[in-house]
Structure formats: structure tokens, C-alpha cells
Structure 1
Amino acid sequence: MITQRLTRDWRVPAAGLMALALLFIAFVLHTHWSAFIQWCLATQITLHRYLVMYLLQLNNHQHSGGLWLLMGAFLYGVLHAIGPGHGKFIVTTYLSTNKESELAARIVPFVGSLMQGVSAILFVFILAIGFNLASGDISTSRWYVEKISAVLIGVFGAYMIYRALKSLRPRRMTISYIKPLHQHDEQCGCGHHGMGTELKGDWKTHLGVVMAIGARPCSGAIMILMFSNALGIISWGITAVMTMSLGTALSIMGLSLTVRCARERTLAFFGGGSSLNGLVPVVKIAGGIVLILFATLLFLTVIPVSANGDYIAAGC
């Protein structure tokens, strides 16, 4: 009894310190956010120019440019994951409000990030090569694709809310034969107790995360593909884009594992999952609302259509 009281008394000031630390971090980010965004944009434009230079070297039969192209594309993907983006926001929101296994926390964000490269390749192949559209028309198509991807993120947020509300409905009791010697405990693995199967995502939810991340192609990937197609070395452009997606995927996977670990430690800090069962649907609903608000912001702030092509607007 005394040990439980001391533990409870220790958690209260620790939780207060944690809240103050989070508020301080949020204040610092808010204060320097505009400078951080400007740095990200400037770095992105600089890397765009380097990648274009390496493509020009390949076009001039300087094969060393291929190695530098792949290294630069991988670095671009890693740095792209550090800056603000929809993939990081989706992964952070989902994993912080839903219980997932370590395997799912690795694979789902990884596949979603790779899908960004695949969607960029399909976008350019279908429109630029298949339909032979001009740069301005492709910029218009990109504008519509980004609008649609924002809608998909909002739909996924609504699906999270739907699942949370569905879990609140009373379930019908089913009578089944139970062995008389079976005892329910934490090691039995039957899933009839605690938060076990209730919080594990199914394939529909995982597919929703992948689609929400991967349906929005990276503008840098589209630029590389467009420029490589104009130079007649589209195979190098595809290789660079998938290398770029690999760098992003590895970074996002690291972020997802960090978020999952932070969630598990937070639950353990406040006494485990059993005492927080009542808050689970509320947290899920809050996560869905955040995703809907984020999707609305993305929908309203899509990069405008460029008559000369997006690679011109990207500083190339």
C-alpha cells in the first residue's frame, strides 16, 4: 500500500515535468517554424539542382554522375523525411493513437513511403509518356492528384473515427464451450482480456495508412522523372526515384518505431493499458479529427499550377 502511494506521488510531478517539456518544445518549434520551413525549401531547391546536374552528366556520358545521382537521391529522401510532410504526420498520428505490433510499425510506413515513388512513376508514365502531355498540363494533373490525396487522408481520418465509434457499441454475448481447466491470465494468449485484439489494426486499416501516404507523389520525384524523360534517360530517373523513396522509407520507419516506443512507455508510465481502456476510443476519435483537419489544410494549400512545369517552380 505504501509502495503504491509513493509510486502515485512520484508520477504526478513527473507527468507535470513531461507536460512542461512538451510545451517548451512546441513553443520553440512555433517560434522558429517559418525559418525551418525556409531552410527546408532552400535545401530542397539546392538538392534539385544537384540532381539535375548529375542527370546532365549522365546525358554527356559521364557515368560517374550515375553514382552521384543515386547518392544524392538517397540523401534527398532522408532529408525529405526530416522536413514537414504528410507521411510523417499520418504515421505519428496513427501510431500514437493506435496499438500496433513492432512488425506492423516497421512494414506499413515503409511500404507507404515506397508507394510514393511508385505513384510518382505511374503519374509521369501515364501522363507524360502515355498521353504525351505538356509540362503545364502535367502540372494541372499534379494539382488534381494532390487534391485527391488530401481527400483520401480525410477519408482515412473519418474511417478511424468510425472504427472508434463502432467499438463503443455493446457487443452481443456468445456462448461457447470453454475447457474447465483453462485459466485466463496474461500468458494464455487467448485474447479475451485486456486491450489485446481490440487495438490491433487489421489489413483494411494498414491499407488505409499505405494509401494515405503513398497516393501523394513527391514533387521532387516528379521533377526528376520529367527531366530524365526529356533527356531520354528515363531508366536512370526511375532508379533515382526509388532510391529516393528508400531513403524516405528508412527514415519514416525509424520515426514510426520511435513513436510506437514512446506510446508504449507512456502507457507503462501511467499504469498500463487496463486503467486507460475507457480513453482508447476518445484518443482514436481525436486522432481521426486531427487527420481530417490536416487533410483540409493540405487541400487548401496545394502548390499552384505552373504553366512552365513544376520543375521550373522547383528551382531547376
Structure 2
Amino acid sequence: MRLAVVIGVCVLGVLAVLLVPDLSWLARWAVEQQRAFQNEMAGAVRALRTGSPGATAALLLAAGAYGFVHAVGPGHGKYLIGGVGVGSGVSMARLLGIAIVSSLAQAAWAILLVYGGFAVLEVSARSVTTLAEDYLAPASYLVIALIGVVLVWRGLRGFARQANAGHAHTTSDGGHDHHHHAEGEASCACCGHAHGPTPEEVAALGSMRDTLVLVGSIAVRPCTGAIFLLVIAWQMDIRAAGAAAVIVMGLGTATLTSLVAVSSIVARGLGHASVSRFGAASRIGPALQILAGGFVVWMSLVMLGYAVG
């Protein structure tokens, strides 16, 4: 019965992804808004170059708005942040931190790539864009896909551990050798086997090592809008203003990814609360990991197809 409930939750999750309503209108809206804010940034840069009052504020506002609407479109690790929130035991505070730090790291990497490339390597703007779109973007999607595979593997391992624990409590004649222990204990001295994933194992994606991998996988691909702005700022010799605007752009992106982080944590809590009524609370964690990991892998491969197509 418990396994049937878990399987049902997974099936419903897959159907929810496959039957999601057409959101192409949202993508079109985001593209239109990106163009509008991109034009505003270009105008603000020209005004800043001529010393017009209020140009800096206009540039920062346009950059922040661009970062938010650009994050609505593909990329920026939204599906990774959401998948990790649903499929792991990471806390809301840590996931929000990952969302913010990854967006700021992405902005910093864009600054280093463009300004460093121009100053040290003397590369062209086309070379920087080609590097970002043709090499760094596919690399980012591949790393994110591998993180999805890790989520699936940890979910399968969680199910296997629970199955082994259940087998260890069954005697050879079909009877049960029960020794009661405190609720929430991962193991007991009577058998030496784990009774399910420990809290540390469930929250493994919240470790510092995994946090760095998550941040790096998102940040490795710089935002195209940031590259566009930095190239103009370099050419017009307003480099400090351009860098500041890209940081604000990263904060705009972080606003959207933070909303995704909060939503994923809420969804995970609702899933645990719903399944706990059927006595399958210990199984929902691995199930959500498998479901979330599969979604992350699928989305990454879709994005990779667009990047190399």
C-alpha cells in the first residue's frame, strides 16, 4: 500500500509536467520585455557617456528589470534550484543562499570574462559571445544534468536502503524480529542496519561541496544580456558603471530564482504532509528525489539540444 502511494505520487508528478498548459505566451512576453529593457540599457549607457543627470539610476533600474524578466526565460538554473528544493532536504535558507550566490557569481563571471578577455587577451566581442553560447552554455547544461542523475541515484539508494532494512527485520520463517526504538532513529543496536536515510543523508545536497557544485553549474554560463551591456560599457569607457549594472542585473535574476526556491520548498512540504497521512512519509523523500532528478535531467537535455542545435 505504501509503495503504491509513492508510485502514485511519482505518476502524478510526471503527468503534471507533461500536461502543463502552454506557456509559450510567457516566453514571448519575456523576450519582448528583454528587448525593451535592453534598449533602455543602451540608451542609459549613451546618456551616461554624455553626463546626463539620472543616467546611472536609469541604467541600474533597467538592468535589474532586465535580469528579472530574462530569468523568466530558459536557463539561469531555475529548474535546478526547483529540483533540488523538491528532491532534497536542503533548508529554505540554504537554497535561497544558493539562488542568490549563483546569480551574483554568474554576474561576476560575466565581468571577468568580458573585461578580462578585452584587457588581457585582447579578444573580440564576437569571440566572447561565441565562447559563452557555444561552449560554456552546453557545459553548464551537462553539469546540471549530472546533478539530476545524482538526485535520481540518491533516491534509488534511499529505496534500496529501506528495502534492506525491512529485510533485516524479517526472520527466515517469515516472522518479524522487532525491537522498538525512538522515533526518528536511523538505526538501532539490535540489527546494525539503517532504518532509512538519516537526516544528514537526506540533506546531503546541502553540504558545502554540493553547494559549490550547484553554484558553479549555474554560474559557468554568463548571461547574454550582461555580455551585451559590458561590451558597450567597455567601448564607451564607462566600465565601473557597466560592472555595477551587471551586478544589479544579477540581483534581478536572483529575485526570480529565489521565488522558485521558496515555491519548491513549499511544494516539498505539501508533498510530505499529503503522503504522511497514508503512513508512507519515509518513502516520499526518495520518491521526490527520483522525480525531481528526472525532471532536471530532462530539462537539461532539452536545453542542451537547443544550445547545440
TM-score band by shorter chain is 0.7 to 0.9
Give the deviation of 1:243 after TM superposition.
0.6
The 1:40/1:97 distance shift into structure 2, 3 A limit, reads same
**Do residues 151 (structure 1) and 142 (structure 2) align?**
yes
Match of 1:302 among 281, 291, 307: 307
Give the deviation of 1:83 after TM superposition.
3.5
Contiguous gaps of at least 5 residues in structure 2: 166-180, 188-194
Q: What RMSD in Å do the two structures reach over aligned CA positions?
A: 3.2
| Cα contact 1:87–1:113 (8 A) shared by 2 | no
Percent identity (aligned): 23
In the alignment, what sits opposite 1:177?
Answer: none
- Letter of the 1:29 partner, please give it: P
Quote the Cα distance in structure 2 between the aligned partners of 1:267 and 1:281.
11
| Paired residue secondary structure (2:122) | coil
In the alignment, what sits opposite 1:92?
Answer: 82
Quote the Cα distance in structure 1 between the aligned partners of 2:59 and 2:277.
48
| Cα contact 1:81–1:248 (8 A) shared by 2 | yes
Quote the Cα distance in structure 2 between the aligned partners of 1:130 and 1:111.
26
In the alignment, what sits opposite 1:198?
Answer: 201
Give the TM-score, by structure 2 length: 0.77
- Letter of the 1:92 partner, please give it: G
1:1-316 equivalence runs, <5 A: 29-30=21-22, 33-142=23-132, 143-167=134-158, 170=161, 184-185=182-183, 196-201=199-204, 202-271=207-276, 275-302=280-307
How many equivalent residue pairs? 273
| Cα contact 1:157–1:291 (8 A) shared by 2 | yes
Contiguous gaps of at least 5 residues in structure 1: 1-11, 174-182, 305-316
| Cα contact 2:158–2:286 (8 A) shared by 1 | yes
Q: Deviations over 1:237-261 (max 9, x none)?
A: 1100001111221332232112202
Give the deviation of 1:91 after TM superposition.
0.9
Quote the Cα distance in structure 1 between the aligned partners of 2:34 and 2:85.
28
Give the deviation of 1:55 after TM superposition.
0.5
The farther-off stretch of 125-134 and 62-71 is 125-134
- Letter of the 1:52 partner, please give it: A
The 1:104/1:170 distance shift into structure 2, 3 A limit, reads same
The 1:135/1:244 distance shift into structure 2, 3 A limit, reads same
The 1:136/1:81 distance shift into structure 2, 3 A limit, reads closer
| Cα contact 2:129–2:227 (8 A) shared by 1 | no
